[in-house]
Amino acid sequence: MNKKLASLLLGFALSATAFAATPPVAATPQIKTGKDGQPVKSFVERAEMLKKRAQKGGFDIIFLGDSITHQWERAIDGKTRTGGKPVWDAKLAPLGAEPSGIGGDRTEHLLWRVENGLFDGKSDPKLVVMMIGTNNTGARMDPPADIAAGVDAIVKAIQVRKPAAKILILGIFPRGAAKDDPKRVNNTHANALIARLADGKKVFYKDIGGVFLTGDGVLEKSVMPDLLHLNYEGYNRWADAVIPEIKKLLGK
């Protein structure tokens, strides 16, 4: 066994141990604040807007996440071709889906949103589709165990509020061009722990990351121009990969 592989395996083992034994720093509910300690206005305003929109109800599925989910609502950018709104309108809106993402969100920010009204009022989804955690890696390289603990806290918070809803956790999407990119490796290890949260009854896990990669594991800019955010082609691949799972879970 080469030293690099041994190191990765050791890191995974330590993460798995930490998942069971350490307090999850990423699971702490937290409103987003700036360097001055004050709430970030853009986060507060969008969180409030998404909360009020969700509380009106009228949807069966809600997608929760960060900027990758946020950009389901973005029109196609003429230069980078990023943005998923045309795909959403054509493929997911007809299923009764609602997007609820905020750029820059980490697990603790999404947890704060869930615990502060996102599922109040007439918000009563049959299915929650969630993909969160890549900003925990990108912002401060949180250990995989902490990322998974954050996701677990969000799942539990949703279940307290909507016990009848099914939850589909998507594996954190790949990032970085190469499969040994440190941030991609961190997300991969987090996914291995997140997958354990599925019980096959109310909580389900699906890793669709492979649809964005070449056969040898390379992430190309033709799908993610900045090797993190999807373009139109990427959103098409996401929709096509997740729709069969959604229909299966909802019995459609």
**The pLDDT of residue 39:** 84
DSSP line for 160-213 = HH-TT-EEEEEPPPP-SSSTT-HHHHHHHHHHHHHGGG--SSSEEEE--GGGGB
- For residues 13, 20, 143 and 107, what is the CA-based torsion angle, rounded to 10 degrees? 140
- Asked if 229 is an active-site residue, the reply is yes
What value does the mean pLDDT take over residues 210-232?
95
Q: Give the residue from 179, 199, 198, 200 showing the smallest Cα distance to 189.
A: 179
pLDDT at 16 over 60: no
Residues sharing a CB contact under 8 Å with residue 65, sequence separation 6 or more, in sequence order: 100, 101, 105, 110, 130, 131, 132
In this structure, of 9-18, 40-49, 76-85, 215-224, the range with the lowest mean pLDDT score is 9-18
Q: What is the pLDDT of residues 18-60, one digit of tens each?
A: 333 344 555 678 888 888 888 888 999 999 999 999 999 999 9
| pLDDT attached to residue 202 | 98
Question: How many other C-beta atoms are found inside a 10 Å radius of the C-beta of residue 174?
Answer: 27
Q: Of all residues in the chain, what percent carry a pLDDT higher than 90?
A: 79
At 80, the pLDDT band (50, 70, 90 cuts) reads: low
CATH, domain range 3-250: 3.40.50.1110
Question: Does the pLDDT at position 186 exceed 60?
Answer: yes
Residue 193 has pLDDT above 70, yes or no: yes
Check residue 78 and give its pLDDT: 63
* pTM for this model (two decimals): 0.88
SS3 64: strand
Single out the catalytic residue among 67, 70, 124, 142. Answer: 67
Q: Which of 77, 120, 180, 226 is catalytic?
A: 226
Rounded mean pLDDT of the chain?
A: 89
Cβ density class 112-143: b for 16+ within 10 Å, e for less: bbbbebbbeeebbbbbbbbbbbbbbbbeeebb
Q: Which of 70, 109, 189, 229 is catalytic?
A: 229
Cβ–Cβ under 8 Å, residues 131 and 173: yes
Among 193, 203, 72, residue whose Cα is nearest residue 136: 193
* DSSP codes of every residue in 71-140: GGGPPPPTTT-B--HHHIIIIIGGGTEEEEE-TT--HHHHHHHHTTTTT-TT---SEEEEE--HHHHHHH
> Tell me, what's the pLDDT at 33?
86
CA angle centred on 186, ends 27 and 114, rounded to 5°? 25
Residue ranges of domains in the chain: 3-250
The per-residue pLDDT for 27 is 66
* Choice between 37 and 130, residue whose per-residue pLDDT is larger: 130
Q: Find the angle CA(231)-CA(97)-CA(126) to the nearest 5 degrees.
A: 135
Mean pLDDT of 153-168: 98
> What is residue 12's predicted lDDT score, i.e. its pLDDT?
35
Q: Going by C-beta distance under 8 Å and a sequence separation of 6 or more, which residues neighbour residue 61? A: 92, 95, 96, 97, 98, 125, 126, 127, 128, 129, 246, 250
Task: Give me the sheet containing 61-65, strands edge to edge.
Answer: 97-101, 61-65, 127-131, 166-170, 203-206
- For 23-37, 113-127, 160-174, 212-226, which range has the lowest pLDDT when averaged over its residues? 23-37
